[in-house]
Amino acid sequence: MAFSDDDIRKLARLARLELTEEEVQTLGPQLERILGFVEQLAELDTEGVEPMTTALDVTNRWAADCVQPSLSREAALANAPLADDECFLVPPVLPPTS
Amino acid sequence: MTIPLDSAVHLKRLLAAGDVSAVEVARAAIDRMAVTEPTIAGFTHSVGEPLLQQASSIDQRRAAGKSLGALAGIPVAVKDVLCSADMPTTCSSKMLRGFRPPYDATVISRLRAADALLVGKTNMDEFAMGASTENSAFGVTRNPWDTSRTPGGSSGGAAAVVAASNVPLSLGSDTGGSIRQPAAFCGVTGLKPTYGRVSRFGLIAFASSLDQVGPLGWDVADNALLLSQIAGLDARDSTSLDAPVDDYMSAVAAADVRGMRIGVIRDQLESDGLDAETRAAVQRAIGVFRDAGAVIVDVQFKHTKYWVPTYYIIAPCEASSNLSRYDGAHYGHRSEITADEAKQMGPLVATYCKSREEGFGAEVKRRIMLGTYSLSEGYSAKYYSKALRVRRLIRGDYDEAFGQVDLLLGPVTPTAAFALGDKVDDPLQMYLCDLFTVGANLAGLPAISLPAGATAAGLPLGVQLQAPPLREAALFRAGAAFQKATDHHQQRPSL
């Protein structure tokens, strides 16, 4: 697998990372080397093997559907970078129109 | 008298007998920290003097004949990956600098209920990703045995503060070896419990199908004491197991391996990746167990060479998903964006991207990129799904082995502690530190790292025991037999 700088930038956008040019240059070869290493899994025949998503044997654990006390609004907002008395405040989704 | 900050069991006895007070113990831990921390730098936060007030209230309750928890007056340090409402919780990341969780992790609540003295939070690789604690945003931690070397990682601080005899006990987390490898590098004992044995409520998630919280201390008795307090079902963690918790202290007291069948994974012992001195330590341990009455059996694993590749697909995939929560909106670092950036991607997405760029360090970004790639359209079958299938084959090797043996014995790490800076520029070399530890995480099994001697240069070496799910007691029983026959766990660095 060879990555162009544009491949890395595209991947960074998917990952919501804004990489510096220097990081783009370093990450390409590093990812190639790591992926080259993990690709040895291809030599194994896994036909008919069920994917293992968890080491647990438990299936599902049900909780009673009832209202219980939880975090106060004040506590939930305490670490917000920006908030008013009731809500998290975030930048607008859409770019400013001008 | 000297306060034995290197043994929780010993301290517990002295405290119960009234030979020392909790205030004296707290004072000793604070004083010791002042001596060791300037060199070791194992803590990201320490409570300091207020610890004396808590200790004093324990002493008063004891004097009044009131009942006390099992860890009353015993100092415990906690890896900074566990949420604590009264201490900052940073995961050693700039992203969470100054973060104050609104609640305690269940394991922290349990330590409080047991009247432990929580002395502070320990340094780690950022978001538990790394094997040297060099990925911390707050500086490196040094190995007490040789301060030019790493204590290992990611629970490097947790292992180093025990090895520095600053606290007798600490809590770490282990996703691919992050308790066992630093335990081996620092000459202490560390256990990764069965997946689900200990609640993860309030453990900041790295790779959810692999993460587990566990104890570190000098010996198996101290590990057993701490695990007894944190193991068990938690209604707030749907992955915690609803199974009885064994009497771990009795298992330690039994200290008997007569008739026990202990398997050795032959291709791991003969692996080219295993350093000669580490191999010799395993061979000596085989001799110790045989002399103690265990039956040593060769076992074959078909997929050991695929452990690390499988892990380095699954763990980054889960990490890239888990770490998407750091968006600069609800908590954590938020960057200011320029008008130009706002125009290009929209203000919200630009804020996400820049906050994450500034908040995360290089290794975390690398794992997020790897995971994003392995899960992306067109590639997930080749990487993620493939790794999940191989994971089942790996578990199958264990199941087959545990049909013949009670425990597995082998190396923890390929080498003893390496020099700071040695592997920072070579991520793949750093990943290969996990060669012998990731199997237990992929299969969900308990595994313990035991001190097993030293290199010619005086660096500690460890050996690992692995057991079937929920057989922590068997690890303690065999570990105690090993420590009865050896004195590796009684060696201390001069600091």
The complex's ipTM?
0.95
Task: Please report the number of interchain residue pairs, chain A to chain B, with beta-carbon separation below 8 angstroms.
Answer: 181
Residues shown for chain A: 98
Is A19 part of a structural domain of the chain? yes
Would you say B407 and B467 are in contact if contact means Cβ atoms under 8 Å apart? Answer: yes
Gap between the Cα atoms of A59 and A11, Å rounded: 34
**Does B330 touch chain A if contact means CB atoms closer than 8 Å?**
yes
- For residue B93, name the pLDDT band (cuts at 50, 70, 90): very high
Residues shown for chain B: 495
Which is nearest to B72 in space by CA: B16, B122, B24, B28? B16
Q: Who among A17, A56, A94 is closest to B357 (CB)?
A: A17
Is B29 part of a structural domain of the chain? yes
Gap between the Cα atoms of B439 and B398, Å rounded: 9
CA angle B293, B413, B223 (to 5 degrees): 60
* pTM: predicted TM-score of the whole model, two decimal places: 0.97
Domain interval for residue B126: 8-255
B20-42 pLDDT per residue, tens = 999 999 999 999 999 999 999 99
Q: DSSP string spanning B306-329?
A: GHHHHHHHHHHHHHHHHGGG--SS
Alpha-carbon gap: B426 to the closest alpha carbon of chain A (Å): 8
Gap between the Cα atoms of B404 and B420, Å rounded: 41
Q: Say how many domains are in chain A.
A: 1
Domain interval for residue A14: 5-42
Residues of B within 8 A of A41 (CB-CB) are: 306, 309-310, 313, 386-387, 390
Is B399 part of a structural domain of the chain? no
The catalytic position among B21, B132, B136, B154 is B154
B361-408 pLDDT per residue, tens = 999 999 999 999 999 999 999 999 999 999 999 999 999 999 999 999
Is B221 part of a structural domain of the chain? yes
Is A54 part of a structural domain of the chain? no
A30/B327 touch (CB, cutoff 8 Å), yes or no: no
Would you say B297 and B264 are in contact if contact means Cβ atoms under 8 Å apart? Answer: yes
Hey, what amino acid is at B380?
S
The token pair at A64 is: 């009673």
For residue B231, the 8-state DSSP code is: B
For residue B65, the 8-state DSSP code is: T
- For residue B99, name the pLDDT band (cuts at 50, 70, 90): very high
Residue A97 has pLDDT above 80, yes or no: no
The catalytic position among B7, B12, B21, B79 is B79
Known catalytic membership, residue B79: yes
Task: Give me the pLDDT at residue B479, please.
Answer: 98
Residues of A within 8 A of B347 (CB-CB) are: 91-96
- CATH code, domain with B110: 3.90.1300.10
Would you say B414 and B435 are in contact if contact means Cβ atoms under 8 Å apart? Answer: yes
**Does B362 touch chain A if contact means CB atoms closer than 8 Å?**
yes
- Number of alpha carbons in the 13 Å side-chain half-sphere of residue B187: 22
CA angle A41, B135, B93 (to 5 degrees): 110
Task: Give me the pLDDT at residue A98, please.
Answer: 60
Known catalytic membership, residue B271: no
At B461, is the secondary structure helix, strand, or coil? strand
Gap between the Cα atoms of B404 and B246, Å rounded: 23
- For residue B310, name the pLDDT band (cuts at 50, 70, 90): very high
Helical segments of B72-175, H only: 106-113, 156-163
B22-40 and B50-63 helices cross at what angle (nearest 10)? 150
Contacts of B327 (CB under 8 A, 6+ apart): A16, B352, B355, B356
Is A22 part of a structural domain of the chain? yes
B313/A41 touch (CB, cutoff 8 Å), yes or no: yes
- For residue A57, name the pLDDT band (cuts at 50, 70, 90): confident
Would you say B297 and B259 are in contact if contact means Cβ atoms under 8 Å apart? Answer: no
Gap between the Cα atoms of B56 and B25, Å rounded: 10
Is B456 part of a structural domain of the chain? no
Is B320 part of a structural domain of the chain? no
B99/A79 touch (CB, cutoff 8 Å), yes or no: yes
The token pair at B303 is: 């997929």
A20/B357 touch (CB, cutoff 8 Å), yes or no: yes
Other beta carbons within 10 angstroms of residue B361's beta carbon come to: 20
Is B385 part of a structural domain of the chain? no
Known catalytic membership, residue B380: no
Q: From residue B287, give the alpha-carbon distance in Å to each of A82, B290, B295, B450.
A: 62, 5, 10, 15
Task: Give me the pLDDT at residue B356, please.
Answer: 98
Is B403 part of a structural domain of the chain? no
Residue found under tokens 């968890």: A54
- CATH code, domain with A37: 1.10.20
Gap between the Cα atoms of B430 and B426, Å rounded: 7
Is A21 part of a structural domain of the chain? yes
Residue B195 has pLDDT above 70, yes or no: yes
Q: Say how many domains are in chain B.
A: 1
For residue A42, the 8-state DSSP code is: G
Q: Which of residues 279-308 of B touch A (CB under 8 A)?
A: 303, 305-306, 308
Q: From residue B142, give the alpha-carbon distance in Å to each of A13, B24, B38, B217.
A: 36, 27, 10, 17
A33/B428 touch (CB, cutoff 8 Å), yes or no: yes
Q: What is the mean pLDDT of residues B188-198?
A: 98
Sign (positive or negative) of CA dihedral B138, B413, B181, B301: positive
Strand runs labelled E in B123-185: 169-173
Is B310 part of a structural domain of the chain? no
Gap between the Cα atoms of B493 and B6, Å rounded: 12
Is A92 part of a structural domain of the chain? no
Task: Give me the pLDDT at residue B172, please.
Answer: 98
The pair phi, psi for residue B228, each rounded to 5°, is -55, -30
Residue A95 has pLDDT above 90, yes or no: no
Task: Give me the pLDDT at residue B271, please.
Answer: 93
- For residue B95, name the pLDDT band (cuts at 50, 70, 90): very high
Mean of pLDDT over chain A: 92
Q: DSSP string spanning B343-354?
A: HHH-HHHHHHHH
